[in-house]
Chain A
């Protein structure tokens, strides 16, 4: 993406002011951290720790040191290195991530939302493995496994069905060690995991300003195992953060920074990102809205603050919709939100396959969103201006009234642009002859075709056995 395409919602002075406010909140009000080990670590680094309330106030020097130690570059790795995602993207683009934690799955045959299951999630991961523009596979929630160890089962399903990088977080403190054990089992050793880290961990705040024991433990374990983190704030303006955009962005970034500080104190230089979930509350219903203009402005301003204010790579969730069907609204909301955040500099854009509500997964929407990501990459790809692309000699050669269609230059560049796939141009007659299908119907066709190609990862028997053993231990330890 060329620098000329950058979207800036904030002036440099505004970024500077908001940065200062983040540091003010962390140094004066602080963050409650419900993890004794993390409190010890932070106290040892010079933080002001109140053992009774668990509130940690971070001296400005400590914050600045932590910010400075976050690498500006990192690689989010998959089990197969060919799927690695170096950040910043070498072509100035961005990466995509599918939707997280879905408990419901939209069935293309019944056209109803039904429970997500281990089998459905396995198929979902297999399809992600073969989609060109789905870069990172997020954890979901199969409902036919024990609830207490659902995330351990889900991670196992992920690793058995895709070699792409995994977006991962635990649902309980007790499950965290098993998830790291599982990653070690997949890669063979702690050293192998550190080399090819398989996942990115996504700890998140309970806003306002509470870091759960589970998330602090995830950060500590991630540092030990060499797995990058992308720390999230969960502000919801009007309910757990100010109603105003600037206030919510500042609060969100301050909460995220607290995670980043813990991470950098545990292991200076550990790869870390800031996540912008950052949603407004709907004042009519009390629920969060994911794809309103306010949500996208809030998120994009947050991206700019993270990038310009702190120099830290950013993930976020702009490929969102608030509708429950794969309709025009879904595509419009996802396209507008995606374009805005990506142009603001987001490095990983999350939400492929997600419909509205708590977290609804739709395989047809996944296919549509995969195509949408391809289009978004085209939009932000910039314009090359050099002799070959200016093609003045070609223009002269064609001459007045000439044609370009048969030139070598046209042949060389005729596939420069993305294959529009589901969004392709068709003659009206062709479209009618093919059944007058709309976008959703074409996506379902493509989903059915991909299902025939989908297959599990070919894992060695001993690896599969070791992973199964971890899941069995988790079931025994976590389930009553």
Chain B
């Protein structure tokens, strides 16, 4: 067994193989931190890169994330508490008035798979619920989606509310009618046009 076996099992979406290889590697004396950094996060980074080029499809990336989580279950008891917390915390939701779920849920799944702690507030999320969740979970990122021109202005309201509450969470936005220019105009910390881009954006910001 080797670090590479764990990576390959994750990329193949082989949950049992990933868990088995992770246990064997622990037994061989490799630290949990080394397994997380060199095998699991590395594998998910590769999966994300392959998705960006169209080599991997979304369902294949999601089963890779499942395999990564199976391996994480094995190594987590051996990790330092702070390291087990993942890469950062993201609160995500569709803004008030908007009930479109697909893109937002996909971004949440992809972020979860990439190792972030994700709190998905769902759709039609009130501004105060974004603020409360960001405070409760000490979020690094507040991700908002909107699929309608009529609900886009709510994103600015949330951003202003986060500032008013003196929270440090960085607001990011996405959705079909959104553009980088609009994100800049409302003071968002970032914008991504698709789920893969959202993961890359969050990695850059956290």
Contacts and interface: CB of A to CB of B under 8 A. Distances in A.
A103 B146 CA distance: 14
B101 A141 contact: no
Contacts, number: 56
Interface string B75-115: 00000000000000000000001011111001000000000
A143 B149 contact: yes
Interface in B160-205: 176-177, 194-196
Contacts of A381: none
A238 B176 CA distance: 19
A206 B147 CA distance: 12
Contacts of B153: 147-148
B149 A284 contact: no
A283 B176 contact: no
Main secondary structure, interface of B, reads loop
A206 B57 contact: no
Contacts of A240: 101-102
A171 interface: yes
Nearest to B123: A206
Interface residues of B, number: 24
A239 interface: yes
Contact of B176 (A143, A175, A358): A358
B121 to A, nearest CB: 17
B54 interface: yes
Given A151-B150, A171-B149, A284-B51, 20 more contacts: A103-B149, A143-B149, A148-B153, A150-B149, A171-B148, A172-B148, A175-B150, A206-B101, A240-B101, A240-B102, A283-B57, A283-B58, A284-B54, A285-B54, A286-B103, A286-B106, A286-B194, A287-B194, A358-B176, A358-B177
30 contacts: A141-B177, A147-B149, A147-B150, A148-B150, A148-B153, A150-B150, A171-B149, A171-B150, A172-B148, A172-B151, A206-B101, A236-B102, A239-B102, A239-B106, A240-B101, A240-B102, A283-B57, A283-B59, A284-B54, A284-B56, A284-B58, A285-B58, A285-B194, A285-B195, A286-B102, A286-B106, A286-B195, A287-B194, A358-B176, A358-B177
Interface of B: 51, 54, 56-59, 97, 99-103, 106, 148-153, 176-177, 194-196
